[in-house]
Structure 1
Amino acid sequence: MEYGHKVQAGEATEGKATAAIETYTAQVPSGVFLAAAIASITASLLFKAQKRDHAALFVGQWVAPFLILGLYNKLVKQHGSDATAR
């Protein structure tokens, strides 16, 4: 394996399963992921106020994945899943 080789546009493609998933998830508004993150923060704060520390930590850890999924969703909408799809 040669290190330093960069993949050029059109040199690699996504699988059919990935393309199908992205076609479906691209229909979800990006605001849904932001709302889920805010709801997770709110739920975590409520659990913490109720002295349910384990539940607060568990639910609070959902924030980052929701935001990352929202970012991925936004990137797929703007750039597509493959450079060859443009």
Structure 2
Amino acid sequence: MAKDFNPEHKEGPVATAIEEQTAKLPSDIFLWASLASMGASLGLKIAGHKHTALFVGQWAAPFLLLGIYNKLVKLEGHDKEDDE
């Protein structure tokens, strides 16, 4: 399945640099970070720090989104062309 490639729409130097660095990280780091934030949130809630627990608990979703971005960068890369 060939993808449409438009050479006029390319990633900028900042996005390219970020993708090169994030592709070096293992994807499971973000999963563990998400689970750790949920665990820390639970611990804070048990300790009676309600507002801090809510704040830390909200980190889980961004960590998972960063993991998805990381996986996409590894699979697709920036401005990758299909040679089909």
Counterpart check, 1:9 vs 2:1: no
The CA RMSD measured in Å over matched residues stands at 1.6
Structure 1 stretches of 5 or more lacking a match? 1-7
Deviations 1:20-59 (A, max 9, x none): 1110110000011001000000000000101110010000
Q: Tell me the TM-score normalised to structure 2 length.
A: 0.86
Residues of 2 paired with 1:9 and 1:82: CA distance? 9
Pick from 48, 54, 61: which aligns with 1:51?
A: 48
- The aligned residue for residue 4 of structure 1 is none
- The aligned residue for residue 3 of structure 1 is none
Residues of 2 paired with 1:18 and 1:85: CA distance? 20
**Do the aligned partners of 1:10 and 1:82 also contact (CA within 8 Å) in 2?**
no
Q: Tell me the TM-score normalised to structure 1 length.
A: 0.84
**Do the aligned partners of 1:48 and 1:56 also contact (CA within 8 Å) in 2?**
yes
Give the CA deviation at 1:16.
Answer: 1.1
**Do the aligned partners of 1:10 and 1:83 also contact (CA within 8 Å) in 2?**
no
User: What percent identity do the matched residue pairs reach?
Assistant: 51
Q: Which amino acid aligns with 1:9?
A: F
- The aligned residue for residue 28 of structure 2 is 31
Structure 2 stretches of 5 or more lacking a match? none
Give the CA deviation at 1:85.
Answer: 8.1
